[in-house]
Structure 1
Amino acid sequence: MSRTATGESSIARAVRIIAAFSSDDTALQVSEIARRTGLPVATASRLIAELTAHGLLERGPDREVRIGVRMWELAARASPTLSLRDAAMPYLEDVHAVVGHHAQLGVRDGEDVLFVERLSARDAVVNYSRIAGRLPLHISSSGHVLLAHAPASLLERVLTRPLDRYTASTITTADALRAALAQTRRRGYAVLPGHVHENAAGVAVPIRNGLGDVVATLSVIVPNDGRAETHVPVLLAAARGISRSSAAVRSPC
């Protein structure tokens, strides 16, 4: 594979281009991609043309660049969360029917929660998460469940870094986060009212594999009206069903 004078391969530069897109920025001009990747515009343009020829990127009506259908196809085919999603969907649909707001499935990826599925209703409460979207672990109920059962080394990394504040209720100190995670482990679920948005509350429970490891979370986002905890029993029942159906799911990295 060809390399630049700095030793960087074409594949590495192509990966930088693909990584320039985010859940909020799904369409970018070539100049913006060049800025985000630090590549010369001519180099970015050439690589984008090659990726587009293979269907990994595509051009919009105004010449903006988007992730291509072929990329989505390959990612979906290889996703390690596919069997988890398939096992969870019947239970996720039942939870959504009972709760009537947002029901979602999340896994840990590094120091974030990655949401792999979400069901919503038209008049549901505000929710910042989305499919293939991320939130920091300390922010959401799903993150608290995953962080409460994560390796100690990961917890220490999170605790030593600044904890971003989303609302007045967001936990932003190491001591408070340790206490909240201890409570999550003790109770077996997490309830975070108003931590991401003042009007919404998150409730999450763990999903385990055949070895008892926590591999994902099942959660709902409901109005912050003091009744969020009433949804815990239906979530726990659904999570047990998913756990039984997904014994082959891999543990989080």
Structure 2
Amino acid sequence: MNLQARQAVQSAASSSTPGSKAASGESERPARERERGGQAMVAPLARSLSILAAFTPQTPWLCNQELVLETGIPAPSVSRMLRSLVALGYLHYSPERRKYRLAAPVLSLGYAAIAHSNVQRVARLEMQSFADASESYVVLGARDRLDVIVLETCAGRPGALDLNLSAGTRLRIASSPMGWAMLAALPELERFYLLGNVERKTEREWPLLRRRITEGISQVHNAGYCMSLGEWEAELAIVAAPLVIADRTPLVLACIGKSARMGRARIERELGRRLVAAAQSLQQQALFAGG
């Protein structure tokens, strides 16, 4: 998905907040094409996509009001779009629950996006090797709006670390090393746009987030990776490096372990360089395999 398309979907999700005029019940602007970034953007389409994106493994069932709060789209528009998405087969409605969930055709869209890519298949082998050697938890992620979504995970020695990071888990792009590494790999214009949205959504948290984001991006530019020691969770250390493959949106590779075994000295001496080397190896393998 190109920059303008990603901006369109995110704009639809953030253009109206629950406290805005639209959410407070005032009439929505007529559906029409709007100009953004030099290209026409169809607002109803972008908003429908933001509704589909609101469903996660943690929240598979959502009702109308939850979708209004999650997307910021006015309630009447949400109701109309839900009816259309059910009719098209992309959502299933449960009369007993009075809620909606994603239906099988959405899965086919996701599968079509990755079916012809060798990246995850190649990455799984490299990730498992790294996890075993470092006795850590290795994660591959991609960006979805203001989150990093987990695509693949590999654990080292069984029982060494128990993390609830299954495929589909979302991490905030602004407050995780995986997010900082991702931001460092994005074109400057796209990064600037995303951080503008983060600032509007975080408000009082923004000064601290901005400092950590800047530090993380600087680490990636200087060393190829960024790290967090005890910030995400007190006993955990995280190292993350971007994975940039031609003709694909950037991915991020991260190594997570217990702080007692992954101190700053070991990261700087060994793990950081090894993670960057693993990312570079994946880039070459994916290029050779036509990923």
Task: Tell me if TM exceeds 0.5.
Answer: yes
**1:145-189 Cα shifts (integer Å, max 9, x gaps):** 222333334555538937969xxxx99164554344323322222
Moved more, 175-184 or 187-196: 175-184
1:132 is aligned to 168
- Give me the TM-score of the superposition, normalised by structure 2: 0.63
Query: Residues of 2 paired with 1:127 and 1:100: CA distance?
Result: 13
In structure 2, relative to structure 1, the CA distance for the partners of 1:149 and 1:19 (3 Å cut) is closer
More contact order relative to length (CA 8 Å, sep ≥ 6)? 1
- Identify which of 253, 260, 266 aligns with 1:225: 260
- Between the aligned residues of both structures, percent identity stands at 20
Contact 2:68 2:74 in 1 (8 A): yes
Q: Does 1:243 align with 2:279?
A: no
Q: Quick one: which of 74, 99, 111 aligns to 2:109?
A: 74
- 1:1-253 mapped onto 2 (5 Å cutoff): 6-8=29-31, 11=45, 14-15=48-49, 17-33=51-67, 37-40=73-76, 44=79, 48=82, 50-59=84-93, 62-79=97-114, 82-120=117-155, 123=159, 125=161, 127=163, 129-156=165-192, 158=195, 161=199, 172=208, 174-175=210-211, 177-209=213-245, 215-225=250-260, 227-228=262-263, 229=267, 230-247=270-287
Q: RMSD of the TM alignment (CA)?
A: 4.2
Matched to 1:238, the amino acid is A
Deviation digits for residues 80-105 of structure 1 (CA, Å, limit 9, x no counterpart): 99443233122122223334442111
**Partner SS, residue 40 of structure 1:** helix
Decide which structure has greater helix share. 2
Query: 1:202: Cα distance to partner?
Result: 0.9
Q: State the distance in 1 between where 2:97 and 2:273 align.
A: 50
TM-score (norm 1): 0.71
Q: Are 2:175 and 2:213, in contact at CA under 8 Å, matched by a contact in 1?
A: no
Residue range with higher mean Cα deviation, 217-226 or 66-75: 217-226
After alignment, is 5-14 or 52-61 more displaced?
A: 5-14
1:110-150 deviation digits (Å, cap 9, x = unpaired): 55433322234774546575533433334222222222333
Contact 2:185/2:242 (8 A) holds in 1: no
Measure the CA separation in 2 of the matches of 1:208 and 1:216. Answer: 6
User: Do 1:201 and 1:223's aligned partners in 2 also have CA atoms closer than 8 Å?
Assistant: yes
Aligned pairs, how many?
A: 241
